[in-house]
Amino acid sequence: MKVGAAGVNFADVMRAWGTYDGGPQVPYVAGFEAAGEVVAVGDGVTSVGVGARVVGTGEGAFAEYVVMPAGSVALVPAGWADEQALGLVLNWATALAALRPLGRLSAGETVLIHAAAGAVGQAAVRLAKHYGATVIGTASAEKHDVVRRLGADHLIDYRTEDVTAEVLRITGNRGVDVVLESVGGTTFQQSVAVAKRVTGKVIVYGAAGGEASISNWELNFKHQVHVIGLHIGVLGQHAPELFAELMDELAKLIEAGVYPPGEPTVYDLADGAKALAELEARTTTGKLALRP
Ligand SMILES: NC(=O)c1ccc[n+]([C@@H]2O[C@H](COP(=O)([O-])OP(=O)(O)OC[C@H]3O[C@@H](n4cnc5c(N)ncnc54)[C@H](OP(=O)(O)O)[C@@H]3O)[C@@H](O)[C@H]2O)c1
């Protein structure tokens, strides 16, 4: 693929830290998400042809050209620029998988979305509102307006407020039906404490703030909740039918305007290190892209 725009993801930061599943292996070209034009296909590939514009994942995406497995790409929606399609197979698919097939969120339920102003977080807020849920988001205070405009009902500044106490106050001590947990560390303890006893689900799909654990004793006597792990790449490999269903649902949501063209913050490829540093420093909102 000739890269039109590459997506910058928190996993790129974790790779730089060496904490992402095994860490980067040399030789290493950073980046693993891009959208652009197919300029060549491998033998036997019939699902996409030369000239198609696709978005997908493949190692070494912070470059002018990248190779992607044909099975990992989707067509750039008609009328969208390459950069506007970034996030389709990663951020949006992850948010949808967390909320629906795994979180089983339904209308009238309440969801807590951590890092609600981030790329996955913003997608999750839009989706949860579309499915009729009450949304409580956490984010740094200066990002609250962005998330409120997406429809979030309650916002918590996790840096200055007691998240557990606030969520319990908002929910009348009942807790939330689903937690989208991408932060880890001490935030994970808040997440299991505010999930509804017996039925509450904590969907764990990130560890931006470090590792966290829960014991069998705690699950038995303290936090009777469902802790569910999610990695969208693994879901695509091990549950391809489910991944296809997610992509079908996202296509419908694009058609219906629930999922609008993305508006990433775009950096020149040469400024990739700056983009990663800003993502690491928690100063960004929404999707980030590099343009070669
Ligand atoms: N499992 C999967 O398949 C999958 C797929 C995609 C993404 N993810 C995960 O989803 C999460 C979001 O990814 P993204 O690319 O959309 O990034 P992002 O949410 O745009 O950026 C991370 C945001 O997390 C918040 N945050 C809260 N505590 C943090 C901490 N201790 N360290 C760093 N950031 C912290 C910050 O915003 P505030 O300060 O405003 O809260 C920061 O801006 C990441 O954990 C990523 O690894 C997982």
Residue 98 Cβ inside 6 Å of ligand 1? The answer reads no
The enclosing H or E element of 121 equals: helix 119-130
d(CA 141, CA 198): 32
What would the two tokens of residue 277 be? 């540093």
Mean pLDDT across 270-279: 98
Q: DSSP label at 232?
A: H
Which residue's C-alpha comes closest to atom 21 of ligand 1? Answer: 118
d(CA 123, CA 256): 15
CATH number for the domain whose boundaries are 92-232: 3.40.50.720
- Predicted pLDDT of residue 177: 99
Residue 139 near residue 206, CB atoms below 8 Å: no
For residue 169, which of 147, 145, 141, 136 has the smallest C-alpha distance? Answer: 136
What would the two tokens of residue 24 be? 């980067």
pLDDT digits (tens, 9 = 90+) for 44-59: 999 999 999 999 999 9
Helix pair angle (186-194, 163-170), 10° resolution? 20
Class of domain 2-87+262-291: alpha beta
Give distance in angstroms: CA of 262 to centre of ligand 1: 17
Give distance in angstroms: CA of 181 to centre of ligand 1: 9
List, in sequence order, every residue forming a beta bridge with 111; answer none if it has no partner.
135, 178
- Per-domain residue ranges of the chain: 2-87+262-291, 92-232
Sign, Cα dihedral of 121, 123, 128, 132: positive
For residue 202, which of 180, 172, 234 has the smallest C-alpha distance? Answer: 180
pLDDT digits (tens, 9 = 90+) for 97-142: 999 999 999 999 999 999 999 999 999 999 999 999 999 999 999 9
Q: How confident is the model at residue 163 (pLDDT cuts 50, 70, 90)?
A: very high
Query: SS3 for 234?
Result: helix
- Predicted pLDDT of residue 276: 98
pLDDT digits (tens, 9 = 90+) for 230-260: 999 999 999 999 999 999 999 999 999 999 9
Atom of ligand 1 nearest to the CA of 184: 31
State the pTM of this model: 0.98
User: Is the predicted pLDDT of residue 5 greater than 80, yes or no?
Assistant: yes
User: Is the predicted pLDDT of residue 24 greater than 90, yes or no?
Assistant: no
Give distance in angstroms: CA of 42 to centre of ligand 1: 34
Q: How confident is the model at residue 22 (pLDDT cuts 50, 70, 90)?
A: confident
Atom of ligand 1 nearest to the CA of 20: 47
Mutation probe of ligand 1 site: the residue of 120, 180, 186 with most atoms within 8 A of C-beta: 120
Residue 117 Cβ inside 6 Å of ligand 1? The answer reads yes
Residue 119 Cβ inside 6 Å of ligand 1? The answer reads yes
Residue 140 Cβ inside 6 Å of ligand 1? The answer reads yes
Give distance in angstroms: CA of 209 to centre of ligand 1: 9
**How far apart, in Å, are the Cα atoms of 110 and each of 72, 215, 230?**
32, 26, 20
Q: DSSP label at 13?
A: H
Which residue's C-alpha comes closest to atom 22 of ligand 1? Answer: 118
